Structure 1
């Protein structure tokens, strides 16, 4: 009995130590530099690419969801987003800005399968370098370091602006929305996919949801999540949108990604050989956050939002709406 109690005591102490280390080593958002540093580290060691592939975003498992290979689901997500946004109807040579392009997985599909002329931007120099390495010569996809909060491109530069799961890293969602719309040509299409929090104006976070959301923000360098409703309103408030913002909820279609990502570590044990003990520790460290993500999306605390908007054709109308943008958002508090 004494031996059993000693073993239980040791296990409990190890668990407490592991939880403490998880909390104190959080990658809290501090600035754009902290986001860049996090992605530089994830890219340099190759661990994230090994398990998540070239697409550092969730997969699409169909509606209703069905069993599918993890990496295939990620590639399928790009094609589903193209169709949902109506982009498959656009001609070869359409110019696309991929905001938060990661290591360029989506950009390469857009260039190779649809003939688009794609420019991918990310805050991480290491991601740009890796994206360039993975991109075949002759493919119309280029990459550069840029800040989505202050894009270096002139107004009305692109036919399409595309962004997948970049929004949670943006400290000011109003500026982010405005930059996305600003660089679109009149008549151009914005298509965004993002992680979102439930609209807490309608249903405030309860006692367990607040600490879960805090960890989802702190662990992966997120300053805040918007809501589907809130970000739709922010896009409309830029004054650049023609008609209405179209939004959809793809939580069900993407939900299997979370547990599937953990399964990769079991199904592909060659990673243990390739990355050794340090890789095992790094991988294991991410499991609690992934499980919290699965909990949050499964329980309705988080939602996977899709957004489509068209930039207005009328310059005069844009200017008038843009003037009202600063007035309408000066005192607004959107989730």
Structure 2
């Protein structure tokens, strides 16, 4: 009997936990399922409590060094600004932040760089919270919009900025088209995203396939693109001048995954604020965070950075697609 309690009971509990984790996956169904997921995460406040204003990874330097979790997230925005060349742009530059979350990046771009920022997300609750967090006088506004069919006219913005929104997009070619379409000629696209290794060059092996399946299913992702594949899709829009510049920030962002779990330990106040149900919700995300750490640490996933300039003239096919998109 004692052996059962020592070995058997923990195994039963673990088996039940794994079954619940797998059976309650938040699989991508539609843009509405993505919106509902983010509405829920925003309404309960747990994600904001642990992750702050920035629902994205942090930048820990190159090589990475120990850093405060929330500071690393803020640093990420400034590093992305520098990498993208946005720090050379004048104040009042118009910026579209696609997949803005609760507006952390948008507010930094507006406050620290003087840009005129419009943030869009598919989640009404995120828009509401972003508006609540934005002080008077900060030139950032937030709208509900779908990145697969942006409501803005062609050539509307000087800069299009997007952080970790791509995995939620069911058609990466349409996503690429929309990002480039709303850029003004000579405008700058800067994207940071989670990417899968290019399986055209090296197919996924026996353990990588189930890991990727969970990374997709647990957080409402239809698929990850590869860095190479998404670069090709940007070029194929017909809007890109020259080449797409890319780099891999996997090592710079890698500590974020374990740091995000560590927040649950160093912020015990969360147990008081959110209670047992909040603790269970938080605990449920740990396996996915560990799988993310495994995937990015082994090269199964890569953190891709993309920079492109919109051409002054575009191909006839791109212009036709652009006009069709606006008419719809």
Give me the TM-score of the superposition, normalised by structure 1: 0.95
Alpha-carbon shift at residue 299 of structure 1 (Å): 0.6
Distance 1:126 1:179 in 2: 23
**1:319 equivalent in structure 2:** 315
Deviation string 1:248-296 (CA, Å, 9 cap, x unpaired) is 0000000000000000000111111111101100000000000000000
**1:277 equivalent in structure 2:** 276
**1:332 equivalent in structure 2:** none
Alpha-carbon shift at residue 45 of structure 1 (Å): 0.4
**2:306 equivalent in structure 1:** 307
**1:128 equivalent in structure 2:** 127
Distance 1:101 1:296 in 2: 25
Deviation string 1:199-245 (CA, Å, 9 cap, x unpaired) is 00000000000000000000000000000000000000000000000
**1:333 equivalent in structure 2:** none
**1:179 equivalent in structure 2:** 178
Give 3-state SS (helix, strand or coil) of 2:315's partner: helix
Distance 2:5 2:93 in 1: 67
**1:94 equivalent in structure 2:** 93
**2:81 equivalent in structure 1:** 82
Distance 2:320 2:192 in 1: 26
**1:10 equivalent in structure 2:** 9
Summarize the alignment of residues 132-171 of structure 1 with structure 2, pairs less than 5 Å apart.
132-171=131-170
Distance 1:323 1:107, change over 3 A: closer
Distance 1:117 1:25 in 2: 41
- The answer to whether the 8 Å contact 1:239/1:325 transfers is no
Alpha-carbon shift at residue 324 of structure 1 (Å): 10
**2:257 equivalent in structure 1:** 258
Unaligned runs of 5+ in 2: 323-328
Alpha-carbon shift at residue 325 of structure 1 (Å): 8.8
**1:112 equivalent in structure 2:** 111
Distance 2:88 2:319 in 1: 33
**1:229 equivalent in structure 2:** 228
Deviation string 1:64-119 (CA, Å, 9 cap, x unpaired) is 00000000000000000000000000000000000000000000000000000000
Alpha-carbon shift at residue 319 of structure 1 (Å): 2.9
**1:66 equivalent in structure 2:** 65
- The answer to whether the 8 Å contact 1:163/1:193 transfers is yes
**2:39 equivalent in structure 1:** 40
Distance 1:8 1:34 in 2: 39
Summarize the alignment of residues 279-294 of structure 1 with structure 2, pairs less than 5 Å apart.
279-294=278-293
- The answer to whether the 8 Å contact 1:59/1:70 transfers is yes
Alpha-carbon shift at residue 321 of structure 1 (Å): 5.7
Distance 1:154 1:322 in 2: 14
Give 3-state SS (helix, strand or coil) of 1:37's partner: helix
- The answer to whether the 8 Å contact 1:97/1:119 transfers is yes
Distance 2:175 2:154 in 1: 14
Give 3-state SS (helix, strand or coil) of 1:207's partner: coil
Misfit runs of 4+, over 4 Å: 323-326
Give 3-state SS (helix, strand or coil) of 2:224's partner: coil
Deviation string 1:26-62 (CA, Å, 9 cap, x unpaired) is 0000000000000000000000000000000000000
Residue 240 in structure 1 maps to residue 236 in structure 2: no
Alpha-carbon shift at residue 10 of structure 1 (Å): 1.2
Give me the TM-score of the superposition, normalised by structure 2: 0.97
- The answer to whether the 8 Å contact 1:186/1:312 transfers is yes
Distance 1:297 1:324 in 2: 39
Give 3-state SS (helix, strand or coil) of 1:132's partner: helix
